[in-house]
Structure 1
Amino acid sequence: MFNAFERAVAFRYLRTRKGERFVSITALFSLVGITLGVATLIIVTSVMNGFRQDLMARIIGLNGHLTVQPERGRTLEDPQAILARLNGIAGLVQAAPAVEGQVLVTGPGGGAAAAQLRGLPPEALRARPVIRRGLRLGDLAEFGAEDTVVVGARLAARLRLMPGDTLTVVLPQARGGDFTAAPRQRSLRMVASFDMGMPEYDGRTIFVPLATAQSLFGLGEAVNQVEILLADPSRVAPVTAELRAALAGQGLRVADWQNANSSIYAAVLVERQVMFLILTLIVVVAAFNIVSSLTMLVKDKGRDIAILRTMGAPRGAVLRIFILCGATIGCGGTLAGFALGLGVAANFPALRRGLAWLEETGLFGAELRFLMQLPSVIEVRDVAVIVATGFGLSLLATLYPSWRAARIDPAEALRHG
């Protein structure tokens, strides 16, 4: 596309010469602006991806990726029949019957709090990665014995509970006749506590063995729902369709984690898109700097352009020379930003350790601690879009100044040069 003559002239124009320092400094600022804009986009997008995945992993890791619930009524009378229908579906990691309900919890010191009680088979709870990673006190090996319970760390702290302590679970549902009505209650022994890092779950969730929950709510062998974990949560749509086909005609409803947490999921996606748009403006501003620096270069080289034209250089050659000048600045900055952004995003854990000493000074406190805990996930598609945007804006920024350079009249430029 560019011959040797055009490349030689373009790179000569980009080199700093005496009396041309201002043009070169402007070009350098344009290069740095594109570099920082592209790098910032890659870093922030990667952090937002990591934040979204971490948030969704915490939420759906606790509640399941899919749930099978009755369309009418409150219970599933034969959960084993449902589990048998799920055996042939690919991508399922775990399917477990579950019981869920609201209870009032009182501690040994007299404190009380509302809680979400969830009953799961012991092996199903132990297999949840979010519970294993978040285990703070106690041992999950004891979970499954009669009347044992695993409590969220914030709820345990509020009720001043430690492993081995006894708490009382009270149901609003009454028992007895009109004159003997009393709330249903049960004493449970705490064996462990977990901390997911999300107060809305750590402060109000308790887990009990499935048999305990069924007995507490008087369900017999029935359950509220069947919870399903997938190997790849992003494939929830095709698996949901397959599940609905397998359970058709059974009076069952299949809900996925995206619909169940639609408000949170939509908020994270909107925030990510708005952040991408705002940071893209940095690259746009840097592209305008390319326009200004290239315009000054064309004005400064007006006499040289006229001489090139009188020596036989066609307008197309002049156009390509200045396109190459601008593209070298813009595309060079995009490549530098790509390398810088990818390097920072890929080495976020190492950077956290490097910033650890700042936390000890106490100058940045909670803000720095939050920054150091942010995850980073690089997605090839996002990086490709950012780099393509940088290249595209850089090339567009060169068109008008280059066209103006190609339109210069040699006679007028020499007369007034």
Structure 2
Amino acid sequence: MFGPFERMVAWRYLRARKGERFVSITAAFSLLGIALGVAALIIVLAVMNGFRQDLIGRIIGLNGHLAVQPASGRSLPDYAALAERLRGLPGVEQVAPTVEGQVLLTGEGGGASGGLVRGIAPEQLRERAVIARGIRRGSLEEFQGEDTVVVGMRLAARMGLRLQDRLTLVLPQAKGGDFSAAPRQRAFRVVAMYEVGMPEYDGRHIFIPLAAAQALFGLEGAVSQIELFVADPAQVAPVTAEVRQALAGRPLRIADWQGANSSVYAAVVVERNVMFLILTLIVLVAAFNIISSLTMLVKDKGRDIAILRTMGAGSGAILRIFLLCGATVGCGGTLIGFALGLGIALNFDALRTGMLALEGTPLFRPELLYLTQLPAVVDPREVAQVVAMGLILSLAATLYPSWRAARIDPAQALRHG
């Protein structure tokens, strides 16, 4: 497309010579602007992807990807056969019947707090990666029998709990709704403490064995819900449709994590899109800089263009020369930004550690400490979109100045040059 003559002339025009420094400096700033804009887009999108993945992992790590609940009432009888049927559906990796309810917690030292109890089979709790990774004290191997409990670190600190302490769960209202009856209560032994980095969970959720929860809440032979985990949480909608079809006609309510946490998920998506739009404006401004620098170059080289035309260079050759000048700046900046952004995103953990060491003080409050551990997740499709956008904007910015250069009348340029 570009011949040797056009490449030679374009390269000579891009080199700064005496008296032409300003045009070259403007082109250099245009290249730098494109590079920084593309790099910022790649880095921010990678960090936002990491934030979304980490937040979603913490939310759904405790709650399951979708849940099957009774349409009315609080119990789901005959759950064993129902769970077995759900295990055979495509895309379903784990099925966990659970019992859930609010209780009053009292410790040996006299501390009291409200809490959310979740009854689950011990082997299924051990399979939940977010809990297994978050164990700070004790061990999930001791979570067995009917008198053990796993609590969050924030709850344990608030109530002064230590391992092997007794934690009493009090259910204020006895079965049947008779307010004259004594509250039901049961003591459990603390065998493990977890921390997932979300204050809502670390300070409120506790886990007890499924059989103990059934006895405490009077749900012998029944559960509150059945939680399902799928292979890809982002593709939970097709599995939800399969579950609805398999359970059609039954008085059940099916909810997935996207619907249950719609406000949080929507906020993350909106924030990511807004950041993409804001940073795209940086690339757009840099593209306008290419237009201005190339327009100045065309004006500065008007006499040279006229001489080239009189020597036999066609308007197409002039067009390609200035297209090549602008494309060199724009595409060069895009490729530099791609390399810079990808390098920072792929080494984000090491750079973050260095920044924290230089800062000397935490960047976030203790309850938001998990933000300092966010991974940067690079999505190849997004990187390709950013690079393509940078290249397209850069090439588009060269069209008008190049067209103006090709339309210069040699006679007029020489007369007024």
Query: Does residue 338 in structure 1 map to residue 338 in structure 2?
Result: yes
* Structure 1 partner of 2:200: 200
1:19 is displaced (CA, Å) by 1.1
Distance (Å, rounded) in 2 between the aligned partners of 1:176 and 1:66: 30
Structure 1 segment 242-391 matched on structure 2, within 5 A: 242-359=242-359, 361-362=360-361, 365-366=363-364, 372-391=372-391
Structure 1 segment 141-156 matched on structure 2, within 5 A: 141-156=141-156
Please, what TM-score do these two structures have when normalized by structure 1?
0.96
Query: Does residue 69 in structure 1 map to residue 58 in structure 2?
Result: no
Are the structure 2 counterparts of residues 346 and 395 from structure 1 closer, same or farther at C-alpha, using a change threshold of 3 Å? same
Are the structure 2 counterparts of residues 308 and 218 from structure 1 closer, same or farther at C-alpha, using a change threshold of 3 Å? same
* Structure 2 partner of 1:218: 218
* Structure 1 partner of 2:36: 36
Cα deviation digits, residues 312-331 of structure 1 (max 9, x gap): 22212111111110011001
Distance (Å, rounded) in 2 between the aligned partners of 1:30 and 1:349: 30
The worse-fitting range, judged by mean Cα deviation, of 215-224 and 309-318 is 309-318
Are the structure 2 counterparts of residues 193 and 233 from structure 1 closer, same or farther at C-alpha, using a change threshold of 3 Å? same
Query: Does residue 171 in structure 1 map to residue 171 in structure 2?
Result: yes
1:405 is displaced (CA, Å) by 1.1
1:215 is displaced (CA, Å) by 0.4
| Contact 2:87–2:93 (8 Å) recurs in 1 | no
1:369 is displaced (CA, Å) by 7.1
Are the structure 2 counterparts of residues 66 and 278 from structure 1 closer, same or farther at C-alpha, using a change threshold of 3 Å? same
| Contact 2:330–2:391 (8 Å) recurs in 1 | yes
Q: Secondary structure at the match of 2:386?
A: helix
The residue type paired with residue 148 of structure 2 is T
Cα deviation digits, residues 336-373 of structure 1 (max 9, x gap): 111111111111122234334314x34x6438977742
Distance (Å, rounded) in 2 between the aligned partners of 1:177 and 1:157: 33
| Contact 2:162–2:190 (8 Å) recurs in 1 | yes
| Contact 2:42–2:345 (8 Å) recurs in 1 | yes
Structure 1 segment 115-194 matched on structure 2, within 5 A: 115-174=115-174, 180-194=180-194
Distance (Å, rounded) in 2 between the aligned partners of 1:365 and 1:86: 45
Distance (Å, rounded) in 1 between the aligned partners of 2:178 and 2:142: 39
Cα deviation digits, residues 232-269 of structure 1 (max 9, x gap): 11221111111112222222222111111111000000
Are the structure 2 counterparts of residues 371 and 284 from structure 1 closer, same or farther at C-alpha, using a change threshold of 3 Å? farther
Are the structure 2 counterparts of residues 187 and 346 from structure 1 closer, same or farther at C-alpha, using a change threshold of 3 Å? same
* Structure 1 partner of 2:239: 239
Distance (Å, rounded) in 2 between the aligned partners of 1:269 and 1:328: 35
Segments of 5+ residues of structure 1 without an aligned counterpart are none
Distance (Å, rounded) in 2 between the aligned partners of 1:328 and 1:369: 44
Segments of 5+ residues of structure 2 without an aligned counterpart are none
1:90 is displaced (CA, Å) by 2.4
The worse-fitting range, judged by mean Cα deviation, of 48-57 and 185-194 is 185-194
1:111 is displaced (CA, Å) by 1.9
Distance (Å, rounded) in 2 between the aligned partners of 1:208 and 1:238: 32
Q: How high is the sequence identity, in percent, across the aligned residues?
A: 70
* Structure 2 partner of 1:79: 79
Distance (Å, rounded) in 2 between the aligned partners of 1:175 and 1:133: 36
| Contact 1:138–1:192 (8 Å) recurs in 2 | yes
Distance (Å, rounded) in 1 between the aligned partners of 2:167 and 2:411: 96
* Structure 1 partner of 2:98: 98
Distance (Å, rounded) in 1 between the aligned partners of 2:263 and 2:178: 43
Q: Secondary structure at the match of 2:414?
A: helix
The residue type paired with residue 196 of structure 2 is M
| Contact 2:363–2:372 (8 Å) recurs in 1 | no
1:201 is displaced (CA, Å) by 0.9
The residue type paired with residue 109 of structure 1 is G
* Structure 2 partner of 1:230: 230
